Amino acid sequence: MRKERGFTLIEMVVVLAVVSILVAILVPTIARHIKEAKITRAQNEELVIASAILSLYKDVGRWPCTNAAGPAGGVNRVLSGQSGDYIPTDHDASVLGSGNWATIPTTKYLADYLYFNNPDENTGGLNQNESGEDYPTTGDYRWRGPYLDKPSNLDPWGAQYVISARYFPGNSLTTVAQRTGHRVLVVSSGINQVWESPFADSINRNTTPDDSPGGDDIGFVIYTND
């Protein structure tokens, strides 16, 4: 007769202990790599957005802040998503100006400039290519989009990127003096979804704090006003 032998209780305890130790070692490492991968993805996506904006400017000679028939008074922020997409509203009260990222009017969606030819008072696919209101569709300085592969572009944590379009050259919201020293940024609020970057007319890269991304916010400079 064949004698079969299973694991003893002590052997099972030893195996479980070894597995527990391996899990304790590997889980933080894996979690860190996932976090780093998401940060890298956000940085890459901001680069793609910035490159698309520069391509638009190269083609039509205008920055995505407003057009002749755009929102009254100009655009303060450009959002990377669509209606209903999440945008963080919390901010770090200890950071001067950070609450201005959460108080966002007047806004327009980036897709209206880069995915649809609709920089006027309309939005989305409604009434595109209107003569005298939207970007020209013929001639040397014509819209050659779409410049992005989809209309809604969210960060790795499911929130919209925000672009400080207030400081694009030619934005009617600001004077040349107000734009001096500011940078146009595309910013993600990061893993904690709390704005920690300063944003105010009185804050620029020549003052303290400057308008650089703060905390775990992730930002990319599109344009610098000297």
Going by the DSSP 8-state scheme, the letter that residue 103 receives in this structure is S
51/161 Cα distance (integer angstroms): 15
207 in helix, strand or coil?
Answer: coil
Please answer whether residues 109 and 162 qualify as being in contact, where contact means their C-beta atoms are separated by less than 8 angstroms.
no
Cβ-defined contacts of 200-205 (< 8 Å, 24+): 200/96, 200/97, 200/100, 201/174, 202/97, 203/96, 203/97, 204/180, 205/181
Other C-beta atoms lying within 10 Å of the C-beta of residue 24: 9
Phi, psi of 151, deg, nearest 5: -75, -25
Give pLDDT tens digits along the chain (226 positions). Answer: 555 566 677 877 878 888 888 778 777 777 776 778 899 999 999 999 999 999 999 999 999 988 777 777 789 999 999 999 999 999 999 999 999 998 888 899 999 999 999 999 999 998 999 998 999 999 999 999 899 999 999 999 999 999 999 999 988 888 888 888 999 999 999 999 999 999 888 888 888 888 899 999 999 999 998 7
Going by the DSSP 8-state scheme, the letter that residue 193 receives in this structure is T
Helix, strand counts (H, E) of the chain: 4, 5
pLDDT for the residue numbered 127: 92
Please answer whether residues 51 and 153 qualify as being in contact, where contact means their C-beta atoms are separated by less than 8 angstroms.
no
Phi, psi of 7, deg, nearest 5: -75, 140
Tokens of 5: 């032998």
150/81 Cα distance (integer angstroms): 10
Kindly report the pTM of this predicted structure. 0.85
Contacts of 94 (CB under 8 A, 6+ apart): none
Please answer whether residues 119 and 66 qualify as being in contact, where contact means their C-beta atoms are separated by less than 8 angstroms.
yes
The DSSP annotation for 54-95 comes to HHHHHHHS--BTB-TTSSTT--SEEESS-TT------B-TTS
66/71 Cα distance (integer angstroms): 7
- Read off the amino acid at residue 192: N
pLDDT for the residue numbered 157: 96
150/152 Cα distance (integer angstroms): 6
pLDDT for the residue numbered 146: 96
